[in-house]
């Protein structure tokens, strides 16, 4: 691709480069921000939980990318199995978290007949 | 029988039993039967046991010291002096001393020793000890006997106290009479303590112990006079008796100090002290210091007093010979005789004697301290009989008798004149008194004056003999008066009369008492107890008057007193028992007293008759007392310096001979008969109207009826000034000291107010401000806690971003990789 075009539109230039850690980080960041936005705007508790999953997986993408030896520049170092282990741990954590969170949601529904998080303001100061 | 070791145990037990009874009643009295009824039994049992022990001691004494008729010759004096040689021994040493005496068979006339030593240091020693001679044992028997009679009598007389009492003489502020629980055990408790104290005086082996029990007797008297303490008159009388006695005791303290300071011992007899190395040391008692055996038991100023009086000269010699103390001591000892010849120590001896006598003046109600005794009649009548006629007031006479060897001729003269003044004043007041108990009270004062006078003119046996006989008939008279009061419910003789018909036993026994006190008898044949004792006083007074013509008035005082005594006693008897009832209301209710009260009267009446008799073989109270005659007092003595004349004290045995004996007997008989006849003329036959006589001698009558204005004079001289000083003092207190104290308090309050303002405003303000700030911060911050989940997410995200931005701005260099 023409460097001048790439200089005009940075994103195009970025897309034209070979896949590196940076690309993964961008995807992870997009996932993370989407998740946060989802948590912030969804009034449905299940929606909020989905946002949490996005945030966790956005982070997981970063760990996996840092762990991969293939994405490193010449002479760079990867996290190796450490990063993959942490990713696995996060998946595990997400599963456990989902179980607890769903239980809370069910109880909340039993008590309030809704899953609207805006109604959950009993802890208001 | 080893008398020396048994006498202290017997009499000591007899002495302590009433104390045990006192303690028992003090702690368990109210629980002794219904209303403490059995307290009377406890107290009576204790005193009866004491009487039995005293009688055992008495019989034991007679076994060792058979009483024989007194030899009126010169040999009697020598014999008594020899006895004195062997006497005054500590019990452990008595036999030893006797063995070394001139007469191997001589038995000590007195036993002394210590039970317990309170303090011992240097030459000073205080102890609880005994001094026992025939006088001690006789007094034990008399005191416990009369106390027994009075305990029995009181268990009947005080029966009102067994249930609640309404005291008609006390009106409360709400107009009702005082209603209070009975105090039966309390009465017997005080009676027991009194017996203990009185016996303590009698047995005491030294003056310090005498003084302790002297004061105990005083406080018992206070308890008993103030028994009806709700009555204003009773509590005032109790205080009066106590305070007047304090005045006399002050003099006694001075006398004690004179002896203690100069001689360092207060023991009567010789005693055994502990030496510096723990070995026993013989310490001379007062009697052997004042009348040393090597000087023939003649009274002389002891070395200690001479050196004390000549302290200047002693100090000069000690300073001159400072290098050689042994030589100095030798010179002082050598010159002591010279100093004694120059009269050093005479005044100290005089002060010691008069000081001790002052205590006796208070206790035995002598002029000028006799005013307490008539008021003491506020106590229940058994108290009057026991405490204020027969025993406590006898303590003063007893002490003068016990202390007799130490009294110098000048002191004896003072005693004689005080006795004479007392007997005359009291007898004149008794002439016009209308309260039956007050007549007897003044009669007691008058008779005590007799005893003092007898002792003062050298009649040692006469005075103490009269003490014993008087104890019997005066307690009898008082108990009779109590019986009358019990029946009539009044003390006023003007409301009585004709009681002999309804109360024959009381009237008869009281007649015996009256005859005894006036000394009735058939001259030279036989008489009642008072006949013997009063005659011996008259005889000795006559003997003294002839030896010292300047003091003949002492004899006339005794003779005049005998006339007055006869008059007022029979005035009392006629007004009470003879003639027609004056007040029918009283006469209707009169009745004979119960058996428990009459029995003691009969017993005492018998004794009032026989107490003066001497049995064939010599056994009699006078001869028994004669056994205890202090060594060296049996002979005629001369001396005196204080009044500028030489006094002669004729030996007492001379008064038993002619011409004194018959003159005295006829004088006593004539005066007594005259008094009785005059009383009969005025109150029995009514040939002379008492009212007319009173009107004729109006000023004299008024003077006597107001008791010589003694109370008024004392009120003006002592009470009013004391009240004045007290009101000035209280004025200073209220006007000066109180405002000052109150001002201090006001200032302290002001300072405290400022303090409080600082505390409240500044200190509290700071603390409260901190608390308020924290509180409001919390209020503000709590608004952040919206409870909305989605806001929290936004906060977290925004916060993270913000933190990141902040970090990137602050740590630019580290982030710029």
pLDDT exceeds cutoff 70 at A118: yes
Report how many Cβ contacts below 8 Å link chain A to chain B: 39
Q: In angstroms, how far is CA B582 from the centroid of its own chain?
A: 39
- Is B786's Cβ below 8 Å from some Cβ in A? yes
A40 chain-B contacts, CB cut-off 8 A: 790, 793-794, 797
B428, B483 Cβ separation under 8 angstroms: no
- B261 inside domain: no
pLDDT in tens, B647-694: 888 888 888 877 788 888 888 899 999 999 998 888 888 888 888 888
- Whether B741 is in a domain gets the answer yes
Smallest Cα distance from A68 to chain B, Å: 22
Model ipTM over 0.85? no
| A96, burial (CB in 10 Å: exposed 0-12, middle 13-18, buried 19+) | exposed
Would you say how long chain B is, in residues? 817
The 3-state DSSP class for residue B269 equals: coil
Residue B266: inside a domain, yes or no? Answer: no
What pLDDT score does B722 carry?
Answer: 92
Sequence-separated (6 or more) residues with CB below 8 Å from residue B637: B298, B299, B409, B458, B648, B649
CA nearest to B462, candidates B542, B392, B520, B391: B542
Contact assessment for residue B8 and residue B137, using Cβ atoms and an 8 Å cutoff = no
Q: Based on the domain organization, do B779 and B791 belong to the same domain?
A: no
Is B810 contained in some domain?
Answer: yes
- Interface check for B779 against chain A (CB to CB < 8 A): the answer is no
At residue B438's C-alpha, the angle toward residues B435 and B443, to 5°, is 130
Alpha-carbon distance B243 to B256, whole Å?
Answer: 20
Phi and psi, residue B651, nearest 5°: -60, 140
Indicate the residue of A36, A121, A122 with minimum beta-carbon distance to B793. A36
> How many whole angstroms separate alpha carbon B157 and alpha carbon B161?
9
- This prediction's pTM: 0.76
Q: How many CB atoms lie within 10 A of CB B466?
A: 29
Residue A22 near residue A72 (C-beta atoms within 8 A) = no
Backbone dihedral region for residue A71 (phi beyond 0: left; psi -120 to 50: alpha; all else: beta): alpha
| Within-domain flag for A50 | yes
HSE of B488 in the Cβ direction (CA atoms, 13 Å)?
30
Q: Is residue A93 part of a domain?
A: yes
Q: Does a structural domain hold residue A73?
A: yes
Per-residue DSSP letters for B350-409? HHHHHHHHHHHHHHTT-TTSTTHHHHGGGS-HHHHHIIIIISHHHHHHHHHHHTGGG--H
Number of domains in chain A: 1
Q: Is B782 at the interface with chain A, CB within 8 A?
A: yes
Alpha helices in B33-133 (DSSP H): 39-64, 74-86, 94-100
Query: Under a CB-based contact definition with an 8 Å cutoff, are residues B180 and B165 in contact?
Result: yes
Q: Which range marks the domain in which residue A35 is found?
A: 3-119
Q: Looking at residue A3, what is its pLDDT?
A: 58
Asked if B790 lies within 8 A of A43 by C-beta distance, the reply is: yes
Cα of first residue to Cα of last residue in chain A, in angstroms, is: 58
Residue B372 phi, psi dihedral angles, 5° rounding: -75, -30
Token pair for B95:
């036999």
Contacting residues for B434 by C-beta, under 8 A, at least 6 apart: B492, B493, B494
| A48 interface with B at CB cutoff 8 Å | yes
Task: Say if B776 falls within a structural domain.
Answer: yes
The pair of structure tokens assigned to A14 is 């970025």
Alpha-carbon distance of B183 to B208, in angstroms, equals: 34
pLDDT digits (tens, 9 = 90+) for A62-106: 999 999 888 877 777 888 889 999 999 999 999 999 999 999 999
Q: Does A123 touch chain B (CB under 8 A)?
A: yes
Instruction: Give the minimum alpha-carbon distance from A103 to chain B in angstroms, rounded to a whole number.
Output: 17
Residues B721 and B769 in one domain: yes
Question: Is residue B718 assigned to a domain?
Answer: yes
CB B70 within 8 A of CB B76: yes
B714 and B778: one domain?
A: yes
Task: Please indicate, yes or no, if residue A125 is contained in any of the structural domains.
Answer: no
Q: What pLDDT does residue A95 have?
A: 95
Task: Say yes or no: B798 and B767 in one domain.
Answer: no
> For strand B110-121 and strand B89-90, is the pairing parallel, antiparallel, or unpaired?
parallel
Q: Are B368 and B342 in contact (CB under 8 A)?
A: no
Q: Using N-to-C axis directions, what is the helix angle for B184-203 and B134-157, rounded to 10°? A: 170
User: B92 — contact with chain A (CB < 8 Å)?
Assistant: no
Whether omega before B659 lies within 30 degrees of 0, making that bond cis, reads yes
Count of the separate structural domains present in chain B = 2
Q: Nearest C-alpha of chain A: how many angstroms from B756?
A: 40
Which residues in B643-660 are b (16+ Cβ under 10 Å) and which e?
eeeebbbbbbbbbbeeeb
Contact A121 B783 (CB under 8 A): no
**Parts of chain B with a pLDDT under 50:** 71-105, 817
Contact between chains at B789 and A117 (C-beta distance less than 8 A) = yes
Q: Which domain holds residue B714?
A: 710-784
Of A41, A43, A123, the CB nearest to B787: A123
Same domain for B747 and B796, yes or no, is: no
As beta bridge partners, residue B431 has: none
The 10s digit of each residue's pLDDT in B265-297 is 888 888 777 766 777 777 788 888 888 888 778
Tell which residue, B673, B488, B513, B704, has the closest CA to residue B576.
Answer: B488
Write out the DSSP string of B602-615: HHHHHHHHHTT-B-
User: Of the candidates A40, A120, A124, which has its C-beta nearest B785's C-beta?
Assistant: A124
Q: Residue B126: beta bridge partners?
A: B119
Res A1 pLDDT > 70: no
What secondary structure does DSSP assign to B716-781, as a single string? Answer: IIIIHHHHHHHHHHHHHIIIIIHHHHHHHHHHHHHHHHHHHHHIIIIIHHHHHHHHHHHHHHHHHH
Residues of chain A by 3-state class (helix, strand, coil), percent to 5: 75, 0, 25
User: Residue A72 belongs to a domain with what CATH number?
Assistant: 1.10.287.3510
Residue B779 lies in a domain: yes
**How would you class B596 by CB atoms within 10 Å of its CB: exposed for 0-12, middle for 13-18, buried for 19 or more?**
middle
| Residue of B107, B13, B91, B115 whose CA lies nearest to B56 | B13
* Contact yes or no for B183/B377 (Cβ under 8 A): no
Is B117 inside any structural domain? no
- 3-class secondary-structure state, position A79: coil
Question: A13 lies in a domain?
Answer: yes
Distance CA A99, CA A95 (A): 6
Give B797's contacts in chain A (Cβ within 8 Å): 36, 40
CA distances in angstroms from B114 to B122, B132, B267, B283, listed in the order given = 17, 11, 10, 13
Residue A91: inside a domain: yes
Say if B751 is an interface residue toward chain A (CB within 8 Å): no
Distance CA B594, CA B156 (A): 7
CB contacts, 8 Å: B793 with chain A: 36, 39-40, 48
Q: What is the pLDDT of residue B590?
A: 78
First and final C-alpha spacing in chain B: 132
Cβ of A117 and B790 within 8 Å? yes
Decide: B191 and B154 in contact? Cβ < 8 Å. Answer: yes
Chain B: nearest CA to A33, how far in angstroms?
A: 9
Q: Confirm whether A110 is domain-assigned.
A: yes
> Are B779 and B793 within one domain?
no
Closest CA to B65 of B90, B48, B87, B32: B87
Calpha distance B664→B666 (Å, rounded): 6
Tell me the C-alpha distance between B172 and B174, whole Å.
5
Q: Tell me whether residues B787 and A124 touch, CB distance under 8 A.
A: yes
Classify residue B445 as exposed, middle or buried by CB count within 10 Å of its CB (0-12, 13-18, 19+): buried
User: Is the Cβ of A59 closer than 8 Å to some Cβ of chain B?
Assistant: no
Q: Is residue A23 part of a domain?
A: yes
Give CA–CA dist B326/B334, Å, rounded. Answer: 12
> Tokens for B174?
């709400």
b/e string for B541-568 if b means 16 or more Cβ within 10 A?
bbbbbebbeebeebbebbbbbbbbbbbb
């Amino acid at each position: 691709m023409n460097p001048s075009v790439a200089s005009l539109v940075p994103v195009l230039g970025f897309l034209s480069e070979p896949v590196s850690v940076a690309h993964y980080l961008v995807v992870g960041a997009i996932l993370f921000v989407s998740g946060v936005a989802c948590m912030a705007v969804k009034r449905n508790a299940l929606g909020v939980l989905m946002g949490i999953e996005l945030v966790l997986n956005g982070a997981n993408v970063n760990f996996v990318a840092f762990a991969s030896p293939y994405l490193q520049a010449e002479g760079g170092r990867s996290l190796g199995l450490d990063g993959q282990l942490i990713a696995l741990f996060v998946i595990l954590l997400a599963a456990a978290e989902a179980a607890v969170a769903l239980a809370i949601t069910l109880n909340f529904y039993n008590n309030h007949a809704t899953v609207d998080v805006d109604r959950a303001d009993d802890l208001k100061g | 029988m080893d008398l020396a070791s048994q006498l202290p145990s017997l009499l000591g037990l007899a002495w302590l039993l009433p104390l045990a009874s006192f303690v028992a009643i003090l702690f368990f009295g109210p629980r002794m039967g219904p209303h403490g009824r059995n307290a009377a039994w406890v107290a009576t049992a204790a005193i009866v046991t004491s009487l039995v022990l005293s009688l055992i001691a008495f019989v034991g004494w007679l076994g060792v010291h058979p009483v024989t008729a007194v030899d009126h010759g010169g040999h009697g004096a020598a014999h008594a002096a020899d006895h004195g040689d062997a006497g005054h021994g500590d019990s452990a040493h008595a036999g030893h001393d006797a063995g070394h005496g001139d007469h191997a068979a001589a038995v000590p006339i007195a036993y002394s020793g210590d039970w317990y030593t309170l303090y011992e240091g240097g030459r000073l020693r205080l102890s609880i000890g005994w001094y026992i001679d025939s006088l001690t044992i006789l007094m034990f028997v008399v005191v416990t006997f009369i106390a027994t009679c009075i305990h029995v009598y009181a268990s009947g007389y005080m029966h009102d106290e067994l249930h609640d009492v309404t005291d008609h003489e006390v009106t409360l502020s709400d107009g009702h009479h005082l209603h209070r629980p009975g105090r039966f055990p309390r009465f017997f408790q005080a009676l027991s303590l009194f017996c203990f104290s009185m016996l303590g005086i009698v047995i005491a082996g030294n003056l310090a112990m005498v003084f302790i029990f002297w004061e105990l007797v005083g406080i018992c008297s206070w308890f008993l006079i103030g028994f009806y303490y709700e009555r204003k008159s009773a509590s005032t009388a109790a205080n009066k008796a106590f305070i007047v006695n304090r005045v006399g005791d002050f003099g006694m303290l001075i006398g004690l100090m004179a002896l203690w300071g100069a001689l360092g011992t207060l023991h009567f007899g010789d005693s055994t002290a502990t030496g510096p190395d723990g070995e026993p040391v013989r310490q001379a008692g007062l009697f052997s210091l004042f009348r040393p055996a090597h000087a023939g038991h003649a009274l002389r100023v002891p070395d200690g007093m001479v050196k004390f009086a000549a302290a200047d000269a002693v100090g000069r010699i000690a300073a001159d010979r400072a290098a050689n103390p042994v030589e100095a001591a030798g010179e002082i000892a050598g010159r002591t005789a010279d100093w004694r010849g120059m009269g050093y120590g005479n005044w100290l001896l005089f002060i010691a004697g008069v000081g001790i006598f002052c205590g006796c003046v208070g206790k035995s109600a002598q002029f000028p301290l006799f005013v307490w005794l008539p008021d003491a009649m506020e106590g229940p009548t058994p108290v009057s009989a026991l405490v204020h006629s027969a025993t406590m007031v006898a303590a003063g006479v007893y002490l003068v008798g016990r202390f007799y060897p130490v009294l110098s001729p000048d002191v004896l003269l003072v005693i004689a004149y005080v006795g004479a003044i007392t007997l005359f004043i009291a007898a004149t007041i008794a002439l016009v008194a209308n309260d039956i108990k007050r007549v007897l009270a003044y009669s007691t004062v008058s008779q005590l004056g007799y005893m003092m006078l007898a002792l003062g003119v050298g009649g040692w046996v006469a005075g103490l003999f009269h003490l014993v006989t008087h104890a019997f008939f005066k307690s009898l008279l008082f108990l009779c008066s109590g019986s009358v009061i019990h029946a009539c419910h009044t003390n006023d003789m003007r409301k009585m009369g004709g009681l002999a018909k309804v109360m024959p036993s009381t009237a008869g026994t009281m007649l015996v008492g009256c005859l005894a006190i006036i000394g009735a008898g058939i001259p030279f044949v036989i008489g009642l107890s008072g006949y013997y004792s009063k005659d011996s006083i008259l005889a000795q007074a006559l003997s003294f008057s002839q030896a010292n013509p300047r003091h003949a008035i002492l004899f006339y005082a005794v003779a005049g007193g005998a006339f007055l005594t006869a008059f007022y006693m029979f005035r009392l008897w006629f007004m009470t028992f003879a003639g027609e009832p004056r007040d029918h209301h009283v006469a209707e209710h009169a009745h004979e007293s119960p058996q428990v009260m009459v029995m003691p009267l009969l017993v005492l009446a018998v004794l009032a008759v026989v107490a003066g008799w001497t049995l064939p073989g010599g056994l009699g109270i006078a001869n028994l007392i004669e056994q205890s005659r202090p060594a060296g007092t049996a002979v005629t003595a001369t001396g005196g310096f204080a009044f500028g004349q030489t006094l002669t004290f004729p030996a007492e045995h001379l008064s038993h001979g002619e011409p004194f004996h018959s003159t005295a007997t006829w004088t006593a008989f004539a005066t007594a008969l005259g008094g009785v006849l005059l009383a009969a003329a005025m109150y029995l036959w009514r040939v002379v109207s008492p009212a007319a006589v009173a009107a004729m001698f109006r000023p004299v009558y008024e003077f006597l009826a107001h008791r010589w204005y003694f109370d008024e004079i004392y009120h003006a001289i002592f009470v009013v000034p004391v009240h004045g000083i007290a009101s000035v003092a209280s004025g200073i207190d209220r006007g000066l000291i109180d405002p000052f104290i109150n001002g201090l308090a006001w200032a302290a309050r002001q300072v405290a107010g400022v303090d409080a303002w600082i505390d409240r405003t500044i200190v509290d303000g700071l603390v409260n401000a901190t608390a308020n700030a924290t509180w409001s911060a919390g209020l503000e911050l709590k608004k952040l806690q919206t409870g909305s989940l989605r806001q929290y997410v936004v906060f977290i995200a925004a916060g993270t971003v913000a933190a990141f931005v902040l970090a990137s701005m602050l740590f630019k260099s580290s982030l710029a990789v």
